[in-house]
Structures are given as structure tokens and as C-alpha cells.
Amino acid sequence: MDTVFDMEKSTDLVEDYLKRCPARDVLAVLADKWVLLVLGVLRAGEHPIRFNELRRRLDGITQKVLTRTLRDLERDGLVRRAVYPTVPPRVEYSLTPLGADLGRLTHAMGQWALAHVDEIGTARAAFDERAAREPQPLSS
């Protein structure tokens, strides 16, 4: 009835953001494994963070992919990239206000993931076990 379900509006909203392509593009940005994690790391540190430091904190991302991810985020106005032409060069990344705003949502996602990771793991195990035992819909 209130903010939780809100059926009528919800249906309209779906009609909106499913049909209107631009909003889909925005969702497509979020639909990236690393984007969620990058926003998480940038959100965690109060001060700007350098490229390789970010890379280390993400543990597993390739330099190529991180570069691409960051540039996409910068392009969308979610991340600010500051270059200091020193030697050696120094590039610092931080969230824009818009990115910080979005970061609140991705942070909530992260918390949700942590809270329900066991529950989902159990569901997966049960599903896989069922799938392993019933591949004979013809017999009996």
C-alpha cells in the first residue's frame, strides 16, 4: 500500500522503464559485475583513490577491464577522474554527487547480498540436487 508495494504506480513504472529505451540503457550500465564493486570501493574511501590502489582492492579485475569500466562511469557522470601531470603520473578517481547517490543503492544491494548469501546458497544446493535426481520424467 505504501512505499513497499504500491501496485498501481509500480505497473505504470514498469510500462515506463521497460518500454522507454533510455532508461534501459541506464539499467544496462548497472548490470555489470564490476560496476557494482567499483562503486562500492569508491564509496568506501572518503578521499579519491588511485588507479592501482583501486585495482588492488578489487582483486581479480584486469587492468583493461578496470580502465574500461572507469571510463564508462566517467562518461555517465558517475565518476570523476582527476589527472595530475606529475612524474610518475597520478590519476585519482572519486564519485560525483550523482555517483554517490547511486552508490547508496548499490550499497544496499551489497548488504542484501551479504544478508542472503547463505539462503541463496541453500536454495542452489537444493535445486541442483533435485535436478540431479529427476532427469527421468519418462520412467515410473
Partner DNA sequence: CGGGATCCTAACCGATACTG
Partner DNA sequence: CAGTATCGGTTAGGATCCCG
Instruction: State the residues that interact with DNA by CB under 7 A.
Output: 32-33, 50-53, 61-65, 67-68, 70, 81, 88-92
State which residue, 65 or 100, has the beta carbon closest to DNA: 65
User: Would you count residue 112 as binding a second copy (CB under 8 A)?
Assistant: yes
The least distance separating DNA from the CB of residue 88, rounded to whole angstroms, comes to 4
Residue 40-69 contact track with a second copy, rule CB under 8 A, x = bound: xx-xxxx----------xxx----------
Dist. CA 103–CA 48, nearest whole Å: 15
Among 89, 119, 133, 135, binds a second copy (CB under 8 A): 119
Check residue 77 and give left, alpha or beta (phi > 0: left; psi -120 to 50: alpha).
left
Distance of CA 134 to CAs 90, 121, 139, 140, Å? 58, 20, 10, 11
User: Would you count residue 82 as binding a second copy (CB under 8 A)?
Assistant: no
Dist. CA 134–CA 70, nearest whole Å: 45
Q: Which does 40 bind (CB under 5 to 8 A by kind): a second copy, DNA, none?
A: a second copy
Residue 76: φ, ψ to 5°: -85, 5
